[in-house]
Amino acid sequence: MSDNNRIELTVLGRCAALPCRKGNQSGQILSLHNKLMLIDCGEGTQSLLRNNGFSLARINHIFISHLHGDHMLGLPGLLSTLGMLGKKGAISIYAPAELKTYLDQQIAFFGGDFGFPIDFHSFDPFHSELIYEDKTLTVKTIPLKHTMPCCGFLFEEKSKPKHINRERCDFYGVPISQYNNIKAGLDFVNEKGITIPNEQLTTPAEAAKKYAYCSDTAYTEKIIPYIYNADCIYHEATFLSKDAKRAKETQHSTASQAATIALKARVKKLIIGHISARYSNFEELRKEADAIYKGAILAEEGKTYII
């Protein structure tokens, strides 16, 4: 990531559970504020990270949506590799509680220790929770509608500070010690008691960005309040509408349904993924989504999208 203020999403795997020549199982990297956050970790994710030029050592936060194999079977290998690479600092994993049992079994089987601590943060997949927060970012869960408890994740930047207009601040004699207050939006009162309005001393902050990962899920409008007006959502679109019956049975979405959600939630960018291996031409899914949500994007593996 060249620009630290930019949020970038790299899709590692865009396919549903069955292995397929056109892609890999679920996994993506959100790169923001000098952090790499891994979202889901299907089999082969560690190789895809390497092949896409990500340093494994920089991954300290992993979010797992649910416990179907195609979303988490890459974890044991990735964690084992991090141990072999000499990782010592903790890694944080955010997932339904049952994943801890699974990881504990893996750890016991492979010798009792990956070589570094795992900070496991379980969440209740039936309610939205704030699961991560730092100075610049929050992550909340988005309960989805699937054959097993499953959550999406909403990554939201906090309001960003305004930019100091250095020339104006110098003109009005604002001391550097006041800059943080000015950036936060306060006006400046000078020695003579005169108030200089904040707008004269600053230029506006960049808008805080909002990205939502929504996989796996049947069509549900309950997620709209969470993702409303998001800068980008990744929504699963496992099936074409002609297979809507199968989508309903397996609690997945069609491309049309993904697009309908994006339209109703007025999101600014829609990327569809988690495509079923049954389709020989993924372009058909993009077209179906595009007919409802103009500009819908079919996820390309290894491609980086700017949020």
| Residues engaged in binding a copy of itself (CB under 8 A) | 17-21, 24, 43-44, 46-47, 49-51, 67, 69-70, 73-74, 76-77, 80-81, 84-85, 98, 101-102, 105, 109-110
Element housing 298 (H / E): strand 297-298
Q: Could you tell me the smallest distance in angstroms from the CB atom of residue 250 to a copy of itself?
A: 11
Our answer to whether residue 170 is catalytic in this structure is no
Nearest approach in angstroms of CB 253 to a copy of itself is: 19
Q: Which is nearer to a copy of itself, 76 or 152 (CB)?
A: 76
Number of H helices and number of E strands within the chain?
Answer: 11, 18
- Which tokens sit at 160? 């960003």
Q: What share of the chain is helix, strand, coil (3-state, %, to 5)?
A: 30, 30, 45
Q: Which of 3, 40, 70, 134 is catalytic?
A: 70
Residue that is written with structure tokens 């056109």 in the block: 22
User: Between 80 and 122, whose beta carbon lies closer to a copy of itself?
Assistant: 80
* C-beta closer to a copy of itself: residue 88 or 192: 88
Query: Which CB, 47 or 220, lies closer to a copy of itself?
Result: 47
Residue 181's H or E segment, with its range, is helix 179-183
- Give the nearest distance from C-beta 300 to a copy of itself in angstroms: 17
DSSP 117-180: -EEEEEE-TTS--EEEE-SSEEEEEEE--SSS--EEEEEEEPPPPPEE-HHHHHHTT--GGGHH
- Nearer CB in complex with a copy of itself: 17/285: 17
DSSP 56: G
For residue 19, the minimal CB distance to a copy of itself (Å) is: 4
Q: Which is nearer to a copy of itself, 73 or 244 (CB)?
A: 73
Q: Say what the alpha-carbon torsion angle 123, 148, 142, 16 is, to the nearest 10 degrees.
A: 120
Q: What angle is formed at CA 71 by the lines to CA 294 and CA 304, rounded to 5 degrees?
A: 45
Q: Are 251 and 146 in contact (CB under 8 A)?
A: yes
Integer angstrom CA distances of residue 92 from 34, 117, 118, 144: 16, 9, 6, 22
- Please give the positions annotated as active site: 70
